[in-house]
Structure 1
């Protein structure tokens, strides 16, 4: 989710700090790699109780939605009312606090986890075992009874059990269908965001309007990433619609978005970027799940 919001956040950084383009591009080239190298030593395998994790994961999701909503309000207000430099500084400070808020969630989760490390009583152990067995049986029944649209259930179950490697997966027709779908969807979406400034300039948009479009596109990208997993899981369990169906739907809607952008009518870039951004983010959320279901982990 935060990856989808990164474009909007970086635009706010550039507008508030008034960084010149050369320095800003250099920062984009160095900073992500430097952060990954510095923080990679903190990544470790940590055994945790899954029953205590959900509320903290929900807290992360809530903070991501809060950041997206705050950015949306700031972008719209800046476009309509032209926020002053002092106002931009205040908004940027609030944005930094919101971005750093997951650290507090992590600290709270760590404290809660340390309190729950005590061994449960025999009654709690019995209840946990019964609950785990029931959940496992329910998941097995659901996976065996739920069909996936667009592929053969027997082949998919056998492929998932085999955990195919790359060479074995490339021998399957599903691999090339998924590859073609992702190349058309993600490739065209990435081409759109990379050239949105040039498209806006050719349609008569100002540089400020095109930067606003980039920020809004990042928010739609986040919305697609965040919502596609939930929506696909809901329909998979309630209606039996597999995730490949949603890939096809997002490709169709993305095609409509590209057609709207190419039409050139008034505000076409705004409407088209919404559709393309939502579908682009949705495909990034759906693709790993589909790959795992078809070819195994």
Structure 2
């Protein structure tokens, strides 16, 4: 748990924050009492929420590792999250020590924490952007100073798309992002889905009402419509534990109880 007597300047401790709630579910220490209270209420509604967070984190690691082995050396990680053990910059460096990773977010909470956590990290940087406009990252001068868009880039949208309420707006943003990327680039994404238990949506929404972020679960068809400009690599759109699982890892008994669909798309 974070020391609440010290925190980065301008961080609101009273308002629960989705990035810090996720950090708590992962077993991290960059969270506060308000975040833990919401997380515990979520666990009352969805007892598998902690497992779901860990499976989500593991999927991102597998996807980044896969792309690094495919030769990708540039990663842009967009969305509300805090750098954690096994995050994109660490996983990429395991396979490709020369990989460059840019974290991009507009959340001041994430910005403050991440700059402190990444201060001594080589080949990783943090820039401000609007996660609801993931396509705009390609026009950001600070990003362009670090990323060569003439070469393949892997863009990670981890738990981002479900914060964009309008389906058409989300799909249009991805089409613009697709157009800005070089052939051979990839999209890594996760998206909350209501399909396993539609009736729980109202309860989950009430749990997250005090937070600074609100999201909308979608079904499989809706998600495929949003990411359709990218060609999904095998095994396509799956629940997070089912995407190229590590052979040595225990298999999830009920992968649908992660309530998260995921995939990796390729830009031709």
Q: TM-score range by the shorter chain?
A: under 0.3
TM-score by length of 2: 0.22
Query: Per residue, is there more helix in 1 or in 2?
Result: 1
Asked which structure has the greater CA Rg, the reply is 1
